[in-house]
Amino acid sequence: MSMNNQGRPTGVGTSGFSSTSGSSLLPNEPLLFEIGDTEHSGVDLPDVTITMDRLGGFERKTPLDLAGLTEPEAMRHYVRLSRLNHSIDSGMYPLGSCTMKHNPRLNEKMARLPGFSDIHPLQPVSTVQGALELMNELSHWLMTLTNTAAVALTPKAGAHGELLGMMAIKAAQTAAGQGHRTIVLVPESAHGTNPATAAFLGYSVKPIPARTDGTVDVQAVKDALSPEVAAIMLTNPNTCGLFEPQVIEIAEAVHAAGAFFYCDGANFNAIMGVVRPGDLGIDAMHINLHKTFSTPHGGGGPGAGPVVLSAALAPFAPVPFVRKGDNGLELVEHETGESLGRITAFQGQMGMYVRALTYMLSHGGDGLAQAAQDAVLNANYIKARLSHVFSVPFNDYPTMHEALFDDTFLAGTGVTTLDFAKALIDEGFHPMTMYFPLVVHGAMLIEPTESESKQTLDRFCDVMEELALDAKSGNSQRFTSAPMNAPRRRLDETRAARSPILKWERPVEAMKPAE
Amino acid sequence: MRYLPHSEAERAEMLGVIGAANIDALFSAVPAKALKTFDLGLPAHSPEFLVEAHLKALSAKNHAGADGPFFVGAGAYRHHVPATVDHLIQRSEWLTAYTPYQPEISQGTLQMLFEFQTQVAKLTGMDVANASLYDGSTGTAEAVLMARRLTKRNKIVLSGGLHPHYRDVVKAYLKDDADLECLSASPDGQGDILDHIDEHTAAIVIQTPDFYGHLRNMKAAADAAHAKGALLIVVITEVVSLGLLEAPGALGADIVVAEGQSIGNALNFGGPYLGLMATRKEFIRQMPGRLCGETVDAEGQRGFVLTLSTREQHIRREKATSNICTNSGLCALAFSIHMGLLGEAGFTRLARLNHAHACKLADALAAVPGVEVLNDTFFNEMTIRTSQPAAELIERLAARGILGGVPVSRLEPSDPSVANLIVLAATELTTDADISALCAALSEELA
């Protein structure tokens, strides 16, 4: 049984709502179920009479017990809740590997045009020629920016794209009588999705160590290659923020061994319009439209992860895809030849295609290259401004779009990377990515993106410097108790995991507090 | 360029602080033969009004749902979305927030997800729901893999009434898997799936209302599966049906997967949508995807966090339950707001209205010469057999400005027995005039 902060038992699952705290502008907000009830509704609909004779005896007998709100109540509930969130529109998000850039509102407006938002995925192809044209145009941009032979638009997110790319590799090798290849090489610095994806498809994962300069050990790759190796999954620029200087050599060695090169494109923002991954020898790479091409993160999705493919993998691309036909554009929806099949219902994330293409057309080829260069400039600027106070694990190469620090500078202060990051919250910044990549102790990975002005970067660096000096001066209290000024203090994650409460339960009548 | 804050002077100043002669110096790790050695040949940057004109021209080439009578369903449904929903989801704090990994400054998203999980659990009658998956089809593939982990068995049987795209996604996920049994299409609603359950079966997958609109007996399926130690996975593509039909959890379902698009989300030509997944509490640790849980902060205040992340890829890497790294957050928000506006009263009325319109549609179609309605049971969707091949007929209706449903042959091209079948849906947006227009056109075309 849980207790609310007056010490009263409140129900089976949930602690009580406290209306006594929170500031006047950031009031605590009760749960939807604590405000609404099953009678109220914010949608006017006629109450029609129906007969049950076509329901086969399967009509609902279990009460729904869903709370409803009238429109003014709903508006206030969701506006109040929204104010408890940090967002890119309200402040910088220096999250390494996440590319939190500005989300242009033109994108949103275009995605809501009825010819895109109000069309059904299975209406006749003759009635959606403009949508297919848009998909074609987006494909052209993606293939041009990467210098690749094909693109599969349908993956729903980056990890889904990884899955597709590796499925294509598996299909190609099976078709070539190379289905016995069961090992995938994954550098230790990789995103967690890489080994998870390989394992998902039944591959065994062989880690490749990083060199002391933060790049992949080319010799270790060559030593690990064998007739059993199906592919390498390599992130470039890598998760340490470095461009792999020997990426072409790695690609050549991988290909010579009969394996494929899967590139994790999470960091494409550093090089779009400046370097084409196809020129580096990649066979497949997903592109996170929600990172590089500014579709909104939306509090955790939806993403979109189209995958570009080399000529060797193009025949194995999934359905559906768009093709020019005699009567305009066609949608190829069924396995033809060697296609690996279908990885999602319908045509993928059309709403994200519209937003991404809008972003591309706004920037143009020149603007995309400028954006990549500004992203790299901003990261190097942060690194240059902070490296006299913070410890830099890798300094042999300029960084790309991310600045990576380790926790050496905090040694002996009693302040952890986590504490330090939480202190940033009190200064109005979202914390940087922490403890990733795993190859760096107490990592702090900072990705400013091209969207931040020099003024914002300077303020961020001033705050970072001031915090570092304060930590070194012994003021650990400021860090270990942070955040103080957020809607919540640090939350007890252990408690949440130990006895999970995953939904609201109606307080049991018998457990009502005695007044 | 309107999205890039730096002036040339600022860029030069920053390069000076860095100590780089020019921007190319920062790309010195890139092999020379790959750096800026090309002309992209892409258009240059463009003012907002020109981009808008280009996109509007593309949009105008499509026939939007509001342009005429509309009966297309088959896994995506055209419902009304209240103006409040689209206004709220465009608020900066919802739209442009990141995944709530920093709970102290993400309580809005987290509380919303907790409310969303509660709504989905109540709708499906299950103990717990996750914070959403990509969509119903990939959710079905994930449920199949989850059932294998739970039972340590391999055989999966897919009902002939499962959406063909969903079946195809499961097939692609389980490539070359001899333990996957896909039953042939069953447009008549009669399935013999119960005969295919044996002691090697991990799960059977049944959709209700099924692809052809028939309502399936979940209780019988659950009993038959459980008798052999197998799990029942229930798939729902039209979540509005749960306002009128019994919750799968009350009938013995072990995992419920649904496409949530119908609530709060536009058709969007197929995406983004949101997958709902709910299960029994003893199965939580094998459930893929994000979960939000309640806890307290350092001052004892109620708060919410992402939890049980030891199932997930960023912690477990190759030992994770799935490679999934995202949910469909903004779509889940739209779902939750719309469901919060409806409430039990509104949601029930919505479901009844859908069914009432579908009854009108079925009765009207049955009176058209050359049309046979195959359904004895349905919620808001049904299958008809026409006296002419369906694909051409649908094209001819489209030429008249009527989107008359989905020819089954579009999804099952290698099955000649479905060549004359059309799946049609009605929703609260379907009017009597729409139904009359459809039936009049069908009468003429089939005469």
Neighbours of A73 (CB within 10 A): 17
What whole-number distance in Å separates Cα of residue B187 and Cα of residue B184?
10
Which pLDDT does position A505 carry in this prediction?
A: 94
What whole-number distance in Å separates Cα of residue A406 and Cα of residue A392?
6
CATH of the domain at B382: 3.90.1150.10
Domain assignment of residue B59, yes or no: no
CA angle B69, B61, B332 (to 5 degrees): 70
Taken in order A137, A139, A143, A145, the sign of the CA dihedral is positive
10-residue block means of pLDDT along chain B (447 residues)?
A: 97 98 97 94 98 98 98 98 98 97 97 98 98 97 96 96 97 86 90 91 98 97 98 98 98 98 98 98 94 96 93 73 84 98 98 98 98 98 98 98 98 96 98 98 97
ipTM confidence score: 0.97
What whole-number distance in Å separates Cα of residue A444 and Cα of residue A393?
10
Which pLDDT does position A22 carry in this prediction?
A: 55
Residues 6+ apart with CB under 8 A from A305: A155, A156, A157, A158, A159, A160, A161, A162, A164, A286, A287, A288, A289
Which pLDDT does position B400 carry in this prediction?
A: 98
Q: Is B429 on the interface with A (CB under 8 A)?
A: no
Which pLDDT does position A175 carry in this prediction?
A: 95
Domain assignment of residue B305, yes or no: yes
Q: Quick one: B200 and B269 in the same domain?
A: yes
What whole-number distance in Å separates Cα of residue B67 and Cα of residue B103?
44
B109, B307, B376: residue with CB nearest A300: B109
Neighbours of B8 (CB within 10 A): 7
B11, B105, B267: residue with CB nearest A85: B105
The length of chain B in residues reads 447
Closest CA to A66 of A43, A42, A32, A38: A38
What whole-number distance in Å separates Cα of residue B227 and Cα of residue B147?
16
**DSSP symbols for B175-195:** TT-TTEEEPPP-TTS---GGG
**Residue A305 and residue A159 in contact, taking contact as beta carbons nearer than 8 Å:** yes
Instruction: Indicate if the pLDDT at residue A460 is higher than 90.
Output: yes
The answer to pTM > 0.80 is yes
B100, B294, B348: residue with CB nearest A14: B294
CB–CB contact B76 A120 (8 Å)? yes
**Residue A379 and residue B59 in contact, taking contact as beta carbons nearer than 8 Å:** no
- Please identify which residue in the block is written with the tokens 């370097």: A275
Q: How many CA atoms lie within 13 A of B421 on its CB side?
A: 23
Query: Torsion-angle region of residue A46: left (phi > 0), alpha (psi -120 to 50) or beta?
Result: beta
Q: Quick one: B134 and B181 in the same domain?
A: yes
Chain B residue whose CA is closest to A55: B377
Question: Å from B324 to nearest chain A CA?
Answer: 6
Domain finish residue from B317, B338, B359: B338
Q: Quick one: B108 and B140 in the same domain?
A: yes
**Residue A425 and residue A483 in contact, taking contact as beta carbons nearer than 8 Å:** yes
| Probe site for chain A from B3, B13, B274, B284 (most A CB atoms < 10 A) | B3
Which amino acid is present at B126? M
Residues 6+ apart with CB under 8 A from B53: none
Contacts of B359 in chain A (CB under 8 A): 50, 54
CB–CB contact B349 A45 (8 Å)? yes
Domain finish residue from B287, B305, B338: B338
Total structural domains in chain B? 2
Q: Is B112 on the interface with A (CB under 8 A)?
A: yes
**Residue A391 and residue A228 in contact, taking contact as beta carbons nearer than 8 Å:** no
What whole-number distance in Å separates Cα of residue A215 and Cα of residue A64?
55
Q: Quick one: B142 and B258 in the same domain?
A: yes
Question: Å from B229 to nearest chain A CA?
Answer: 25
Contacts of B333 in chain A (CB under 8 A): 298-299
Beta-bridge partner residues of B384: B373, B422
Question: Å from A309 to nearest chain B CA?
Answer: 18
CB–CB contact B350 A43 (8 Å)? yes
Q: Quick one: B266 and B386 in the same domain?
A: no
Residues of chain A with CATH 3.40.640.10: 106-117+126-361
Domain assignment of residue B41, yes or no: no
CB–CB contact B36 A162 (8 Å)? no
Which pLDDT does position B301 carry in this prediction?
A: 95
Show the tokens assigned to A326. 């005699």
Question: Å from A408 to nearest chain B CA?
Answer: 22
Show the tokens assigned to A136. 């074609």
Which pLDDT does position A18 carry in this prediction?
A: 55
Which pLDDT does position B111 carry in this prediction?
A: 98
Helix/strand/coil percent split, chain A, to 5 = 35, 15, 50
Question: Å from B384 to nearest chain A CA?
Answer: 16
Contacts of B309 in chain A (CB under 8 A): 497
Peptide bond into A437 cis (omega under 30): yes
Question: Å from A187 to nearest chain B CA?
Answer: 12
Q: Quick one: B168 and B240 in the same domain?
A: yes
- Please identify which residue in the block is written with the tokens 């055989």: B155
Q: 3-class DSSP state for residue B373?
A: strand
Chain A residue whose CA is closest to B90: A108
CATH of the domain at B107: 3.40.640.10
Phi and psi at B252, nearest 5°, equal 105, 10
A55-68 pLDDT, tens per residue? 999 999 999 999 99
Strands B275-279 and B255-259, by their bridges, are antiparallel
What whole-number distance in Å separates Cα of residue A216 and Cα of residue A397?
13
Question: Which of A171-174's residues contact partners 24+ apart within 8 Å by CB, and which partners?
Answer: A171/A316, A171/A338, A171/A340, A171/B175, A172/A260, A172/A312, A172/A313, A172/A315, A172/A316, A173/A230, A173/A260, A174/B176
Question: Which runs of consecutive H residues, i.e. helices, occur in A43-104?
Answer: 71-82
CB–CB contact A192 B302 (8 Å)? no
Within the 14-43 window of chain B, which residues sit less than 8 Å (CB to CB) from chain A?
14-15, 17-20, 23, 25-31, 33-38, 40-43
Q: Quick one: B73 and B150 in the same domain?
A: no
Residues 6+ apart with CB under 8 A from A34: A17, A504
Question: Å from B359 to nearest chain A CA?
Answer: 8
Element (H, E) at B348: helix B329-366
CB–CB contact A68 B344 (8 Å)? yes
CB–CB contact B48 A106 (8 Å)? yes
Domain assignment of residue B97, yes or no: yes
CB–CB contact A342 B165 (8 Å)? yes
What whole-number distance in Å separates Cα of residue B54 and Cα of residue B51?
5
| Probe site for chain B from A25, A33, A82 (most B CB atoms < 10 A) | A82
Which pLDDT does position B176 carry in this prediction?
A: 62
pLDDT category at A327 given cuts 50, 70, 90 is confident
A199-226 pLDDT, tens per residue? 989 999 999 998 999 999 999 999 999 9
Q: Quick one: B72 and B182 in the same domain?
A: no
Domain assignment of residue B397, yes or no: yes
Closest CA to A437 of A175, A194, A189: A189
Q: Quick one: B294 and B393 in the same domain?
A: no
Contacts of B175 in chain A (CB under 8 A): 167, 170-171, 340-341
Q: Quick one: B370 and B303 in the same domain?
A: no
Q: Quick one: B331 and B353 in the same domain?
A: no
Domain assignment of residue B297, yes or no: yes
pLDDT category at A4 given cuts 50, 70, 90 is very low
- For A368-497, CATH number out of 3.10.129.10, 3.30.420.40, 3.90.1150.10, 3.40.50.720 equals 3.90.1150.10
Burial of A326 (0-12, 13-18, 19+ CB in 10 A): exposed
Show the tokens assigned to B69. 């009578």
CB–CB contact A33 B46 (8 Å)? no
Q: What is the DSSP letter of A55?
A: T
What whole-number distance in Å separates Cα of residue B235 and Cα of residue A454?
51
Query: Torsion-angle region of residue B26: left (phi > 0), alpha (psi -120 to 50) or beta?
Result: alpha
What whole-number distance in Å separates Cα of residue A33 and Cα of residue B115?
8
Q: Quick one: B242 and B318 in the same domain?
A: yes
Domain assignment of residue B8, yes or no: no
Contacts of B91 in chain A (CB under 8 A): 78-79, 82
* Class of domain A106-117+126-361 as given by CATH: alpha beta
Domain membership of residue B125 as a residue range: 83-338
Instruction: Indicate if the pLDDT at residue A20 is higher than 70.
Output: no
Question: Å from B195 to nearest chain A CA?
Answer: 22
- Please identify which residue in the block is written with the tokens 């992949």: A216
| Probe site for chain B from A28, A89, A123, A295 (most B CB atoms < 10 A) | A123
Domain assignment of residue B280, yes or no: yes
CA angle A397, A399, A404 (to 5 degrees): 115
Q: How far is CA B297 from CA A12, A19, B116, in A?
A: 19, 16, 21
| Probe site for chain A from B7, B42, B316 (most A CB atoms < 10 A) | B42
Which pLDDT does position B192 carry in this prediction?
A: 76
Q: Is B274 on the interface with A (CB under 8 A)?
A: yes
Q: How many CA atoms lie within 13 A of A24 on its CB side?
A: 0
Which amino acid is present at A121? P
Residues of chain A with CATH 3.90.1150.10: 368-497
Domain finish residue from B338, B370, B389: B338
Contacts of B206 in chain A (CB under 8 A): none
Instruction: Indicate if the pLDDT at residue A9 is higher than 50.
Output: no
Contacts of A280 in chain B (CB under 8 A): 31, 34
Which pLDDT does position A189 carry in this prediction?
A: 84
| Probe site for chain B from A502, A504, A506 (most B CB atoms < 10 A) | A502
Question: Å from A446 to nearest chain B CA?
Answer: 15
